[in-house]
Structure 1
Amino acid sequence: MGKGYRSFRVQALKVVHSPTPAVREARHAIAVRLRDIRRDANLSGTALAQAANWDRTKVYKIEATTTAPSELDIRIWCAACDAEEQIPDLIAMTRAVETMYVEWRRAARSGLKAVQRGAIPLYEKTTTFQIYEPGVIPGLFQTKDYATARMGRFNEFHGFPGDFADAVEARMEKQRVVRSGKRTFAVILEESALWFRVGSREMMREQLDHLRHVATWPQVSLGIIPRDQDRRIWSVPNFWIFDGRRVITETPTAELNITAPGEVEIYRRIFAELSTMTLVGAGAERLISEPYAQF
């Protein structure tokens, strides 16, 4: 990743009253990385400002997050520090600061149907999905009854108004990307996702039966991590990788979109590591059959 790289981590962001503490933290992470690039180049703030033909205080303002760097500032900074290889990642990070989070409540003002439909263009243009879910069956593989139960509880908890039934239909509509046969889906579930009930026992059996059926489709690769697996990675939230270029993960309050190449690569590495812990084929079928027999 080049000199001075520091892994970029951002907590949940509420965009209504920007800048929030989380936005400031994100900007601080960028400033720290720029500062480290300068230090690795053995340049003082004054020397960098002179090389960039800036006011002598600009470097210090950027590093103190008093001033947010523009994309041009980043290009000039990295060029002066002989760190041009870091430009694409830093620019992606700065673009993401204000846009990477979509607050659930704010998004739902247009209705949950609009939230569901809003994802359809991304799904349709994606050819390769990598999906990790620790606690639920992924939306693309849910039965209508399972989706209704899960979204109903989500809706009840958050108090979203309006078109709940339409939102379920919109989620079902997204599933056409799976049935088209034009895309591939690598899916990793924790075994706990098979056991967590979101509705009746009969509904859960139907959902597990559907998951078994989906796992036989040629475009779907399903791996399940057993509960007693010796772990090398744990405490990972759900995440979806779209064509290896975008990651979406969710918190209780927000959806996080990650496009910085360095960050996406970390999620790709995590997915690859999780893949080594899965059971597939007959092993996955056995894990599905256990809760199916219990429900």
Structure 2
Amino acid sequence: MTTRSDLFIPEVLADAVAGAWPDRVALLGTEAVVESRTLPGDAKGGDRVRIPYFGVLGEYEVVGEGQSLTPTKLTMTTEEAVVQRAGKLFEITAWARMAAMYADPYAEATRQLLEGARRTFDRALVEAAASTTGGGVQTVNASSGTISYDAIVDALSAFGESEDSVAAVVMHPKVLNDLRKAKSNDGMPLFLNPQDGGRPRVLGLPIIVSRRAPVISGTPNTYVTLFVRRGALALWYNGTPSIETDKDIASDTLLAAVNVYFVAHRYSRLPGDTDPVVVRLVTR
């Protein structure tokens, strides 16, 4: 039996994970997500916390000679969200197999744990953006056909004067395939293949292709494409994941658990306007 001192030291893994933890961006690095690693350390799954954002000072005053400006407060508004718990439980016996394959099992475990966290955050953020519960979201129903130039224009127009703040478009692979075939009214393709290894784009907007984009079952199925504004989502998580161990007396092995607590939240509005922060475009 490989002992803890021979192979697995929880503190080493905790330090390795914590050292690589910052900058775990969800939605693949778009500006749609405001990320913070300052979730209170005592927050647990199911807790309700307040997600803050600053108000706006407003426009400048125009005053005459000798007149005084009116003091304005910089306010902070909060919205409530629920803390989620995510983690991974694994047995120490797995570390013995890893040690035979990799020079540094801690580095490999850190890589896998961080990738797992990124995927968990990403899924939660897509779900928060797509949710029809709460404010900040508007649905454009174009389910009579596949995605088209007119449908995209209608989705963008739903943002009102905030159309230019759209940071990302999340769509299902099936919708992307339809988009590749779509043309504008003058016969030009809507879809632009990236020439420099960047993201594909539609009408200048970056596309994130994901099977996590909602699919509404029916005859036929319909697909939800998400148009997300800059700063529409908040990802708040505790900066140092916990690594805990326990002994399984039935198998005489050690179990290790990694836990992280986080909040994935869609704002009901952004400071200074009442336009939606997410538009759901429903197509076939």
Alignment TM-score > 0.5, same fold: no
The TM-score bracket by the shorter chain reads under 0.3
The TM-score normalised by the length of structure 1 is 0.20
Q: Report the structure number with the largest CA radius of gyration.
A: 2
Higher relative contact order (CA 8 A, sep 6+): 2
Report the structure, 1 or 2, having the larger helix content.
Answer: 1
TM-score (norm 2): 0.21
Greater fraction of residues in strand: 2
